[in-house]
Structures are given as structure tokens and as C-alpha cells.
Amino acid sequence: MNTREKLFLLWAVLASVLFLGAAFVVGQMLLPRFADTAQLMYAAEMEPGATVLYQCSRAAKQCAPTNQAAHYVEFANAAGNGAIEDYTLLWVTHDTPTEWRAFSPVSTHLGCFVMWQPTVEQFRDPCGGAAWARDGKYEFGPAPRDLDSFPVRVQNGAVFIEFKLVRGKNIN
């Protein structure tokens, strides 16, 4: 390989590195930026002892109460892959004025939608029959672990959910 070929190879490598760097920067600018936290709307109206289904939008940085699981399949697939996309569903419990918890509605057994049963104070999996207590702890059934959860923080009276899915503790 002569000097001219070596210089051409060096130029090609440098140009490739610069192109990839520029493509990365442009990609970061064009891709949607999702928030790491979202505020629970109407949290001040939630009485201690209440359990409410919320739908969160990372793009809007808000979670609002809902009575539908419109984005459940999308969320369940994303959660199963370890990624939280734009829409997140979660069950929120408000136990005391300062104690809040947020749980994934995805069963740790078969991935079905977990429902809150207020008469027995449990989350129930209609597919596999597992049950979890109000604090997300496993109670009975074929589930291998507690419910997955999201960190919650209270700041200046506002309640925020962090979009970091925490895997439930194994029951064994």
C-alpha cells in the first residue's frame, strides 16, 4: 500500500466517524424526548385509602385518572421488553397523607391486566388467579413475584411518578 492509498484510507475512516457522530446528534434532536417523571393529576383529590388507575403520557409529563385500559397491550409489551414508551398505565394507592405507591397493572404471572378488587382489598389476575395485597405484595396464586412498581415522590404537595419500572421481589 503506497502513501496515497494510506492517506485515502485515513480520510475515509475520519469521514465515516464524523458522519456517524453527526447522524447521532441529528437523531437525538429528531427523536421524541420522553420525560423521566410525570405528575399525578388530581392527586390532591384522592382520599387516603383510595386506589385509582392512571394513564400517564411521558411526552405530556402527566398522569390522569382513567377507567379504561386503552394502551394496555402497548404498555404490557413495552414493559415486558424492559422499555417504557410514551403511554404507561399504573395503579396508584394512597394509603396515608404521605404514603403513595404505584404498581404496574401487568400480572407477573401471565401478563394479563391486573384488576383492583375493593371488596377484598386485593389486586387480582383474572387469567391466572393470583392475588396481591394493596402494597403489591404477593398473597396467593401462581405468580412468581410481587407486583412490579414505579418509584413515587412527593414534592411541594405534588405527587410524581418516576418511569423506572422496579421488578417485584421474588416470592421464594
Coil, strand or helix at 33: coil
Q: What is the pLDDT of residue 85?
A: 75
The pLDDT confidence band at residue 22, using thresholds 50, 70 and 90, is confident
Higher pLDDT, 25 or 157: 157
Q: What is the pLDDT of residue 31?
A: 58
- Contacts for 66 with CB less than 8 Å, ≥ 6 apart: 53, 54, 55, 89
Summarize pLDDT for 79-93 with one digit per residue, the tens.
666 667 778 889 999
- Record the pTM: 0.75
- Contacts for 41 with CB less than 8 Å, ≥ 6 apart: 62, 63, 64, 65
The pLDDT confidence band at residue 152, using thresholds 50, 70 and 90, is very high
Joined together, the cell numbers standing for residue 89 give 398505565
Q: d(Cα 56, Cα 62) in Å, to the nearest integer?
A: 6
Summarize pLDDT for 101-120 with one digit per residue, the tens.
999 988 888 888 899 999 99
CA dihedral 82, 34, 86, 80 (to 10 degrees): 0
